[in-house]
Chains A and B, each alone.
Chain A
Amino acid sequence: MSNEHLMLSQISIEFPTPTGPFKALDNINLNIAKGEFVSLIGHSGCGKSTVLNIVAGLYQATTGGVILDGREVNEPGPERAVVFQNHSLLPWLSAYQNVELAVKQVFKKKKTKAEMVEWIEHNLSLVHMDHAMHKRPDEISGGMKQRVGIARALAMEPKVMLMDEPFGALDALTRAHMQDSLIEIQARLNNTVIMITHDVDEAVLLSDRIVMMTNGPAATIGEILQVELPRPRNRVQLADNPKYNHYRAEVLKFLYERQHRPEASEAKKKTAQNRVSVMGKSKAA
């Protein structure tokens, strides 16, 4: 087991609420190999983002922990770059400057100035943003912003790339473009990726493995699906592929039959979540 790249072992997390601790995640175990693309899928509010935030080091697990290349993860760091759902670019910096901020921080003494410039431009061209790299986020479209977000993460040369619903806020066509771009980048760089998604097609198209999560509270891993489709994958060819459709059906079945929730439990869940978010806010304030 020790030769695994990234290990999530027996993770559970509790958030304090006025009515006692709320257990969001319970006993999450997952090993990820180097270069593997893993999707986390589940109904909203099941704790997918919480898992990602624990791996990123933004949250601390109550029990269990994350081990990356034999070292425990305790705090955020650039070797676990995050692509945030709403791009999270600094609005006062251009695309180039946003990537530069990351590059300067990560390669402070390792790269010369010229090398840094080259590296920044290289990463921006990987995501096809070289034509607009001196534009500010408010001057480019949502898809382009997310491209810059991905370039920023790639530029950190992370051991693991964490993507939190990276294309969730985009329209369907842009999303397809972005997925194709990601496939292309993945073919070149073969990064280790954990991606959260709501989108069954996206999960099957991109992943080596799909981790399906049960509903919370105390959400855990329900099933893991190995996607054995040959790469490079092409969405048009796969549309007729019986294997592809089989995988899709598997995920759909899990989400809508096995994890289908009656309304009552949904409402209960919501109040629990609200409590958590209220606590989170008061903590933040």
Chain B
Amino acid sequence: MKLVKLMEPVMTTQAIKTSGLTPVKILNKLSCYVKEQVENFNPQQMLKSILVPGIAFIVFLLIWGGAASQVQTSLGTLPGPIQVWQQAMVLVDEHNEERIKQVHFHERQDIRNAKKLAENPDAEIKTRPYTGKATFFDQIWTSLITVATGFLIASLIAIPVGIICGLSPLIYSALNPLIQIFKPVSPLAWLPIVTIIVSAVYVSEDPVFSKSYLTSAITVTLCCLWPTIINTTVGVSNISKDLLNVSQVLRLGWWTKVYKIVIPSSIPMMFAGLRVSLGIGWMVLIAAEMLAQNPGLGKFVWDEFQNGSSNSLARIMVAVFAIGLVGFMLDRIMLVVQKRVSWDKSAVLR
């Protein structure tokens, strides 16, 4: 836990700050981190932060390995940690192979085009994109983009709605029943409606986004609106009465009040909501992708399930870990963002 906590600023600030996230940079940061750790070596802390979680993880792997070998399924024995690790490596290899193929494809295309131009300078050259099979890592990327879209739309709606609800008891009492009714609705109930609406409304000759992407993203939006709205509302309505009196005495305008008083004081609650929302969004996304066939992790799981080879279960378990790790990473990113925007740097965030 401690290790991850310490590493998180290394990894995530990097991810946010620089779009050009090169492996070299990450390695540099990591080596800095390792150097720091070696210099500040503290055996007791080491024990607590690495050894204890490490032992717990090993115990977990042993129990899993032992129990899995006892379970016989139609696809053979339930895979243990070793098989899952092997499949993870296979997925990495597949990814690398695809990348090599892609490079070759582009090389061939470039050579072909160059030849054509050499024969006839006016020749029409076509550059086609590589249409190879999406690898596991492409699918993780697709999922991340989709969840980011859904979450962003949801936040852009939920934060203003939450602020307005928090400031106006009238609007709150008007919207609260609706929020309470829609909040517990499962993504699987939204999905058919969203699918049909997207198919009907989003008709385009040359679509920028695929329908499955829109359907999944909108379903994510519909499910992760609510925690942010509710938490922001609570945060805003609990602003100290004194501060609101100050704003009244100063006759601050509505916008100034919101910027200077309302938003800063409700940021902790707002982020609590955003983090719950993002967590829900990530869970919902997997389900939505399965059904909408958006080429992300959900589709990967579904395809493997349909595939039913002897490796499928292990590959699904790799996906389970990937989903878990990505979800954890997303939460850490939110935490870093919260630390950035929060005025109270001394507050303990977890």
Contact = CB atoms under 8 A, between A and B. Distances in A.
B202 to A, nearest CB: 42
Interface in A124-161: 138, 156
A285 B245 contact: no
A76 B245 contact: yes
B343 interface: yes
Given A90-B261, A90-B264, A285-B237, A84 B245 contact: yes
Contact of B241 (A75, A80, A284): A284
Interface string B261-305: 100110000000000000000000000000000000000000000
Interface string A204-245: 000000000000000000000000000000000000000000
Interface in A68-85: 75-78, 80-82, 84
B250 A92 contact: no
A88 B242 contact: yes
Chain B at the A interface: SS class: helix
Interface in B199-257: 237, 240-243, 245-246, 248-252, 256
A73 B265 CA distance: 30
B264 A92 contact: yes
Contacts of A81: 249
A106 B252 CA distance: 10
A92 B251 CA distance: 19
Nearest to A98: B246
A105 B243 contact: no
A101 B249 CA distance: 12
Contacts of A249: none
Interface in A88-117: 88, 90-93, 101-102, 105-106
Given A90-B243, A284-B241, A77 B260 contact: no
B76 interface: no
A105 B245 contact: no
Nearest to A149: B246
Nearest to B250: A105
Given A88-B242, A91-B343, A284-B241, A78 B169 contact: no
A91 B260 CA distance: 11
B177 to A, nearest CB: 16
B252 A91 contact: no
B248 A76 contact: yes
Contacts of B256: 105
A77 B243 CA distance: 14
Interface string B322-350: 00000000000000000000011010000
Nearest to A284: B241
**Which interface residue of A75, A90, A138, A156 has the most chain B CB atoms within 10 A?**
A90
Contact of B251 (A78, A86, A91, A284): A78
B260 A90 contact: yes
B344 A82 contact: no
A156 B249 CA distance: 10
A61 to B, nearest CB: 17
Nearest to B172: A285
A82 B249 contact: yes
A58 interface: yes
Given A58-B245, A88-B245, A284-B241, A77 B343 contact: no
B1 to A, nearest CB: 28
A105 B253 CA distance: 9
Contacts of B265: 91-92
A86 B248 contact: no
B249 A77 contact: yes
A138 B169 CA distance: 31
Nearest to B249: A76
B257 to A, nearest CB: 11
A194 B265 CA distance: 30
Contact of B249 (A78, A92, A138, A285): A78
Interface of B: 169, 237, 240-243, 245-246, 248-252, 256, 260-261, 264-265, 343-344, 346
Interface of A: 56-58, 75-78, 80-82, 84, 86, 88, 90-93, 101-102, 105-106, 138, 156, 284-285
The 5 closest A-B pairs by CB, nearest first: A92-B343, A88-B242, A76-B248, A92-B264, A76-B249
26 contacts: A58-B245, A75-B248, A76-B245, A76-B249, A76-B251, A77-B251, A78-B251, A82-B245, A84-B242, A84-B245, A86-B242, A88-B240, A88-B245, A88-B246, A90-B246, A90-B261, A91-B265, A92-B343, A93-B260, A101-B250, A102-B250, A105-B250, A105-B251, A105-B252, A106-B250, A138-B344
